[in-house]
Amino acid sequence: MVVLVVNCGSSSLKYILYDMRTETVAATGLIERIGGGGDQHAVVHHRPTDKDRVDYESSIEDHYAAVQETVKLLTTGEGKVLNHLDEIDAVGHRVVHGGEAFCSAVLINEPVIKAIEACVSLAPLHNPPNLLGIRACMAALPGKPQVAVFDTAFHQTMPRRAYLYALPYELYERHGIRRYGFHGTSHYYVARRAAEMLTQMGRDGAHARIVTCHLGNGCSMSAVADGVCVDTSMGMTPLEGLVMGTRSGDIDPAIIPFLEEKLGKTGAEIERMLNRESGLLGLSGTSNDMRDVSEAARNGHEGARAAVDVFCYRVRKYIGAYAAAMGGLDAVVFTAGIGENSPELRERILMGLSFLGLDVDPERNRSGRGDRVISTPESRAAAFVIRTQEELVIARETLEACKQAVAAG
């Protein structure tokens, strides 16, 4: 089965074409600056496996045109990897917010589209372009199964004590105000992979208590016990939780009206500050990229040092909290850009967690490639670095949803 995975942003479309017989990638691509208007053209990057890359600029007015461009790239020209569109068996779509309606991937039909539309108020920046991508693929590939895979689905197993906020209960009942969590496909993948690795080590992976740390420009953590999510750091929106590239993470909510009064800013302006001007960028005053911030910190920049300190402290605090919530700890997983590529920060985060039975091996942490153990052989809890594969999860869940539909008749 050949599965096309599509991830639509407000002005972008990412795609990966998988041959699911071998779970290999036939091509990847990105179309940026869709609908720029005027003299601004979209930028197209097409990466066929085992062929030369294709890069060019073109006038692409909307997501419908972007999907048509994707289809053309896959089936014609120097970057061609398919002879005909009929070779695509299904399309899997990343959808950011499924609210409480979806706890697994689903075949897309009009009721599903309406349910995704109903979640637009919860994810106004993400769900509308996700819907555009769905509509565009339905038009370009009529009759092909379209499957929605939700960032929020993995977290729907959280108990009420973890997802409710201590607000008037009617706000949850009427407006859906609760913790939803995000990065679900990443947390799901690395938690399952960690369970497999624990089993290979002769430990009980199936019933393990695992803390997964997705650390990139956006950061979130999850507590996973017996294979299901029991808590996660992001909340109703991706703003809550850890320090991120430009997001503040956890703050005292009373800061918002305080800033309204002191700075004369509107709620929308403060929301922008918290989402776009805070985090590593706000603390360091230098960059939202941890590589730049870490370099500045090593060179003695005080703001950058503060940003790294707060970042590592917040992750370490959540590890301790989730270990307490699960009644113990069997593994910690690091994934995504920072988690996979910064041994310095991994060591700083894990430093002082011996009381949880977790001891990092400095040599293992600094060396090695791929999915690996970075804790000492004697460590009661394991520490892993695992490369996240969110698109592969989407492809797998798309395939599974199609199989279930066929079985159901």
Span of 25-34, 35-44, 231-240 with lowest mean pLDDT: 35-44
Residues labelled catalytic: 151
For residue 108, pLDDT over 90 is answered with yes
pLDDT of residue 37: 64
Residue 44's beta-bridge partner residues? 31, 56
For residue 331, pLDDT over 70 is answered with yes
Selection from 89, 116, 80 nearest residue 101 by Cα: 116
Selection from 393, 375, 401 nearest residue 190 by Cα: 393
pLDDT of residue 38: 61
Distance from C-alpha of 378 to C-alpha of 382, rounded to nearest angstrom? 9
Q: pLDDT tens digits, residue range 228-245? A: 999 999 999 989 999 999
As to burial, measured by CB atoms within 10 angstroms (0-12 exposed, 13-18 middle, 19+ buried), residue 244 is buried
Distance from C-alpha of 408 to C-alpha of 296, rounded to nearest angstrom? 57
Q: How confident is the model at residue 368 (pLDDT cuts 50, 70, 90)?
A: confident
pLDDT of residue 35: 81
In Å, what is the CA distance from 337 to each residue of 56, 149, 214, 274, 371? Answer: 27, 22, 8, 22, 14
3-state SS class at 9: coil
Average pLDDT over all residues of the chain: 94
Say if residues 82 and 60 touch (Cβ distance below 8 Å): no
Phi and psi based region of residue 188 (left: phi greater than 0; alpha: psi -120 to 50; beta: remaining) = alpha
Say how many CA atoms lie within 13 Å of 328 toward its Cβ. Answer: 10
Read off the DSSP letter of residue 8: E
Q: What are the b/e assignments for 174-212, b being 16+ CB within 10 Å?
A: eeebbbbbbbbbbbbbbbbbbbebbeeeebebeebbbbb
Q: How confident is the model at residue 126 (pLDDT cuts 50, 70, 90)?
A: confident
Q: How far apart are the first and last CA of the chain?
A: 19
Say if residues 110 and 134 touch (Cβ distance below 8 Å): no
As to burial, measured by CB atoms within 10 angstroms (0-12 exposed, 13-18 middle, 19+ buried), residue 51 is middle
Q: pLDDT tens digits, residue range 255-300? A: 999 999 999 999 999 999 999 999 999 999 999 999 999 999 999 9
pLDDT of residue 408: 82
Q: pLDDT tens digits, residue range 53-104? A: 999 998 898 899 999 999 999 999 999 999 999 999 999 999 999 999 898 9
Instruction: Provide the whole-model pTM.
Output: 0.92
In order of their start, the domains of the chain are 2-150 (3.30.420.40), 202-385 (3.30.420.40)
Q: pLDDT tens digits, residue range 183-196? A: 999 999 999 999 99
Selection from 257, 208, 222 nearest residue 152 by Cα: 222
Task: Break the chain down into helix, strand, coil percent, rounded to 5.
Answer: 40, 20, 40
Selection from 386, 372, 335 nearest residue 216 by Cα: 335
Contacts of 270 (CB under 8 A, 6+ apart): 256, 259, 260
Distance from C-alpha of 269 to C-alpha of 274, rounded to nearest angstrom? 9
